[in-house]
Structure 1
Amino acid sequence: MTQDVKEIFGSASGSPGSTPPAALAAKVRTLAPSMTRSMQRVAETVAADPAGCAALTVTGLAELTGTSEATVVRTARVLGYPGYRDLRLALAGLAAQQQSGRAPALTTDIAVDDPIADVVAKLAYDEQQTLADTAAGLDTVQLGAAVTALAGARRVDVYGVGASGLVAQDLTQKLLRIGLIAHAHSDPHLAVTNAVQLKAGDVAIAITHSGSTGDVIEPLRVAFEHGATTVAITGRPDGAVTQYADHILTTSTARESELRPAAMSSRTSQLLVVDCLFIGVAQRTYEQAAPALSASYEALAHRHRR
Structure 2
Amino acid sequence: MNVLLQIQQNIQSYTAGEQKIANYIIENPEKLLPMSVHELAGRLDVSSATLVRFSKMLGLKGFTELKQRVSAALTTISSTESLKEVEKGDSVEDIKKKVSLRMNHMVEQVNKVLANEQVEQAAQLIRNAENVFTFGLGASSLAAQDISQKFSRIGKHCLVNTDITLMATSMTLLKESACLIAISNSGETAEVVKLSSLAESLGIPVIGITGQLKSKVAAKAQVVLMPSSGESIPMRTAATMSLMAQLYVVDILFYNYVANNFEDSMSGIQQTKNIEI
- TM bucket, shorter chain: 0.7 to 0.9
Query: Residue 165 of structure 1 aligns with which residue?
Result: 141
User: Residues 247-284 of structure 1: CA distance to partner in whole angstroms, max 9, x if unpaired?
Assistant: 111112254666x2533221111110011111111111
Query: Residue 281 of structure 1 aligns with which residue?
Result: 257
Amino acid at match of 1:144: E
Structure 2 contact 132–178 (Cα < 8 Å) conserved: yes
Within the candidate set 66, 70, 73, 1:95 is matched to 70
Query: Following TM superposition, by how much is the alpha carbon of 1:183 offset from its aligned partner in structure 2, in angstroms?
Result: 1.0
Within the candidate set 181, 198, 202, 2:178 is matched to 202
Paired residue secondary structure (1:238): coil
Distance 1:101 1:184, change over 3 A: same
Distance 1:100 1:192, change over 3 A: same
Within the candidate set 159, 163, 177, 1:187 is matched to 163
Structure 1 contact 233–251 (Cα < 8 Å) conserved: yes
Tell me the distance in 2 between the aligned counterparts of 1:193 and 1:50: 56
Query: Following TM superposition, by how much is the alpha carbon of 1:133 offset from its aligned partner in structure 2, in angstroms?
Result: 2.0
Query: Following TM superposition, by how much is the alpha carbon of 1:190 offset from its aligned partner in structure 2, in angstroms?
Result: 1.8
Query: Residue 224 of structure 1 aligns with which residue?
Result: 200
Distance 1:285 1:115, change over 3 A: same
Query: Residue 244 of structure 1 aligns with which residue?
Result: 220
Q: Establish whether residue 213 from structure 1 lines up as the match of residue 189 from structure 2.
A: yes
Tell me the distance in 1 between the aligned counterparts of 2:150 and 2:46: 47
User: Residues 209-249 of structure 1: CA distance to partner in whole angstroms, max 9, x if unpaired?
Assistant: 12211111110121123222211111222222211111111
Structure 2 contact 199–206 (Cα < 8 Å) conserved: yes
Amino acid at match of 1:270: Q
Query: Following TM superposition, by how much is the alpha carbon of 1:112 offset from its aligned partner in structure 2, in angstroms?
Result: 1.4
Tell me the distance in 2 between the aligned counterparts of 1:27 and 1:225: 40
Query: Following TM superposition, by how much is the alpha carbon of 1:103 offset from its aligned partner in structure 2, in angstroms?
Result: 11
- The sequence identity of aligned pairs, in percent, is 22
Structure 1 contact 203–228 (Cα < 8 Å) conserved: yes
Q: Please, what TM-score do these two structures have when normalized by structure 2?
A: 0.77
Q: Establish whether residue 117 from structure 1 lines up as the match of residue 93 from structure 2.
A: yes
Query: What does 1:48-87 align with in structure 2 at a 5 Å threshold?
Result: 52=32, 56=37, 72=53, 76=56, 86-87=61-62
Unaligned stretches of 5+ residues in structure 2: none
Q: Establish whether residue 134 from structure 1 lines up as the match of residue 105 from structure 2.
A: no
Distance 1:124 1:183, change over 3 A: same
Tell me the distance in 1 between the aligned counterparts of 2:211 and 2:17: 16
Amino acid at match of 2:205: T
Amino acid at match of 2:135: Y
Distance 1:155 1:28, change over 3 A: farther
Distance 1:92 1:244, change over 3 A: same
Tell me the distance in 1 between the aligned counterparts of 2:223 and 2:78: 30
Within the candidate set 109, 116, 121, 1:145 is matched to 121
Distance 1:109 1:93, change over 3 A: same
Tell me the distance in 2 between the aligned counterparts of 1:123 and 1:163: 18
Distance 1:23 1:110, change over 3 A: closer
Query: Residue 242 of structure 2 aligns with which residue?
Result: 266
Query: Residue 177 of structure 1 aligns with which residue?
Result: 153
Bigger Cα Rg: 2
Amino acid at match of 1:94: R
Tell me the distance in 2 between the aligned counterparts of 1:104 and 1:154: 52
Which of 243-252 and 86-95 deviates more?
86-95
Q: Please, what TM-score do these two structures have when normalized by structure 1?
A: 0.71
Pairwise CA RMSD of aligned residues? 4.0
Tell me the distance in 1 between the aligned counterparts of 2:107 and 2:156: 27
Tell me the distance in 1 between the aligned counterparts of 2:6 and 2:171: 33
Tell me the distance in 1 between the aligned counterparts of 2:83 and 2:183: 26
Structure 1 contact 26–136 (Cα < 8 Å) conserved: no
